[in-house]
Amino acid sequence: MLNRLKRLLSSSSELQPTREPAPKMLAPTEPEIDIGLIDIHQSGWLQNDTGELVRGFAISAEDVVLDIGCGEGGYALFSARQGAEIILADVDADKLDTARARLEKEGARSVRTLVTDANPIPLDDGVISRVVAMEVLEHVDDPAQFMAELVRVARPGALFLLTVPDEIIEGVQKHIAPSVYFERPNHIRIFKRGELEQLALEAGLSVESTMQYGFYHAVWWSLYWACENQPLSPPWHPLLENWSETWSTLLSLPAGPRIKTALDTVMPKSQVVVARKP
């Protein structure tokens, strides 16, 4: 049982050395895919019409994107579809190979991989125009040093997309998740509200926007631990299927988006900061 939990919690292959398996990395059934994508799209993610990975973070074919702690590709697929040059960085070479193979089929201008723990990042100064560090800083021993490296390799004017799990849902996980959830190589710190923004400011970045999102996925992961022997693949336990159906019903109602926004604010899955290097 312990080994299964360790595999579940490390399957995304992020830096330091992994992050928890995020919903974006699931291979879910159709109800999960549909409602998960609908939910994050309503939160401002994957805006194909504007080329924004999330609102305020546009990616174009002229960009050089560093996805640090990319695992098997995840959101980097969106960057590839914009035709950007992409540098994938992770500590797991096998996951990088999988990610590169996925992205090369999606129209990226070019794809490179770096096996690195980001201490240091093997790149020259000022070569990156877009930095993506999603659900990775909670695994890092020294977030300030980590951010300093990201800033070093970014060119002036580069945009940064930073996300970490929200402190409230992490507090819930403290009570229900297995102990390995908060042990290396998984989560070794909880960012309180405002701390991610402060980290960006202390690294010399200017913060352009902040947001919270993901109540749906926060509850999904909370319910997941009740589903004994449930792998991260279908068929899903009826509890998870029923939650997806309930959320889909809510979003279809006139009051659904307003309630979603309130719940995303109060108990989000993640905190998001979009920042810029002056």
| C-alpha distances in Å from residue 158, one per residue of 72, 211, 278 | 24, 19, 8
- Please say if the pLDDT value at position 33 is more than 60: no
Q: What is the pLDDT of residue 29?
A: 33
CATH of 2-28+47-215+269-276, one of 3.10.20.30, 3.40.50.10330, 3.30.565.10, 3.40.50.150: 3.40.50.150
- Please say if the pLDDT value at position 30 is more than 80: no
Confidence of residue 5 (pLDDT cuts 50, 70, 90): very low
- Please say if the pLDDT value at position 31 is more than 50: no
Average pLDDT over residues 187-197: 97
Q: What is the pLDDT of residue 34?
A: 77
- Please say if the pLDDT value at position 27 is more than 70: no
